[in-house]
Homo-oligomer: A and B are copies of this chain.
Amino acid sequence: MKQLTARQVAEISGGKLIGDPNTLITGAASLKSARQDQVSFIGSKKYLHQLDQSRAGVVLVDKKLEQELTDGHTFVVCDNVDAAFSEILLVFAPEAITYAPGIHPSAVIDPSVSIGKKVYIGANVVIEANCVIGDDTAIGAGTFIGREVKIGQANRIAPNVTIMHRCIIGNQNILHPGVVVGADGFGFIPGPHGLEKVAQTGIVQIDDDVEIGANSTIDRARFEKTWIKSNVKIDNQVMIAHNVEIGESTIMIAQTGVAGSTKIGRDVIIAGRAGINGHITLGDGVKVAGTSGVVKSVPAGGIVVGTPAEGQREFMGRRALPKKVKRLSDKLDVLKKEVQQLKNK
């Protein structure tokens, strides 16, 4: 069994040790469930009340909480407790699952496909004509890759993913199970025989270091491309419509949706379950609160909340309306009495 002393924990995490350096730990757990031989962590004041009851042998603590600590545990005070705990978790984690290069005999790969070095292709994968698969890329079982798709190096594509024809995937991307890249965008024109489909002739382009969560869908462009730029992180069940652009390092939490042709800048954070209207622009660094419905463009750095989304001040003012109305009503009643007294005179 792997084990670390508190001193080793402090060394690995680069933190400051407070308490017994020889405390032995053999695993990591949450404050609530940790045993005496486990290390835990606390990053927010909110969880301080769990510290007294916790049996954790060693606790990593964010430095901003250092003044709040009481006796009873061995602590390691860290600059970035989240990153530090991740390091410790890796020591005790079971060995990572990796796939040795090789192509499963059940995979159905068109002879025209170009496959790089050290590629893993799982069972029942289907790769159609004229695709290119770069070095060190792994493709999980049951995944479908349509015609003329270009996939770069060192991608990790999960089982049961669907990548439709002509899409372009760069390097070091992670696609989780159930992801669909390059289904048709949604477009119809009323015609003499009902709604007529607008051909979706473009592609999806995903640059590098992008992660896309389970069952998310990214539609192909009507023309040109739907474009996910480098380092974008997309959670599960996110929907990105045709011709959308997402800027570098933007984060989209689960179940958000972006309608067609909207341009989202870099370093934007869209919290869970938010919806973004089509044909608008979100500037760099915009923050969208969870569940918001953004109908208008937001300039760089803007923070919006609510549906239809507005600034935090407007939103808080709106939330405070019941109290304001109550106060108005009280004031009015007082004034009414005064007027009555004047009339009585």
Binding site for B on A (CB under 8 A): 28-30, 33, 46, 80, 82-83, 86, 89-90, 92-94, 96-97, 104, 106, 108, 122-124, 126, 140-142, 144, 146-147, 158-160, 162, 164-166, 174, 176-178, 180, 183-184, 186, 188-189, 191, 194-195, 197-199, 201, 209, 211, 213-215, 217, 219, 222-224, 231, 233, 235-237, 239, 241, 243, 249, 251, 253-255, 257, 259, 272-273, 275, 277, 279, 290-291, 293, 295, 306-308, 314, 317-319, 321-322, 324-325, 328-329, 331-332, 335-336, 338-339, 342-343
A318/B322 in contact, CB under 8 A: yes
A239-B254, A321-B322, A339-B342 are known contacts; what are 12 more A-B pairs with Cβ within 8 Å? A86-B189, A92-B201, A97-B146, A124-B126, A126-B142, A177-B180, A177-B183, A214-B217, A215-B217, A314-B322, A324-B325, A342-B342
What are the residues of chain B within 8 A of A306 when measuring CB–CB?
Answer: 307
B184/A176 in contact, CB under 8 A: yes
A94/B237 in contact, CB under 8 A: no
Contact A106 B104, CB 8 Å, known A176-B183, A201-B93, A237-B237: no
A162/B158 in contact, CB under 8 A: yes
Question: How many Å lie between the Cα of A222 and that of B80 in the bound state?
Answer: 17
A33/B224 in contact, CB under 8 A: yes
What are the residues of chain B within 8 A of A189 when measuring CB–CB?
Answer: 80, 82-83, 86
Q: How many copies, total?
A: 3
What are the residues of chain B within 8 A of A165 when measuring CB–CB?
Answer: 97
Contact A239 B236, CB 8 Å, known A224-B30, A338-B343: yes
Write the nearest CB–CB distance from A343 to chain B, whole angstroms.
7
Question: How many Å lie between the Cα of A184 and that of B186 in the bound state?
Answer: 27
What are the residues of chain B within 8 A of A273 when measuring CB–CB?
Answer: 257, 275, 293
Contact A144 B159, CB 8 Å, known A237-B239, A272-B257: yes
B275/A272 in contact, CB under 8 A: yes
Write the nearest CB–CB distance from A166 to chain B, whole angstroms.
7
A241/B254 in contact, CB under 8 A: yes
Write the nearest CB–CB distance from A163 to chain B, whole angstroms.
9
B141/A108 in contact, CB under 8 A: yes
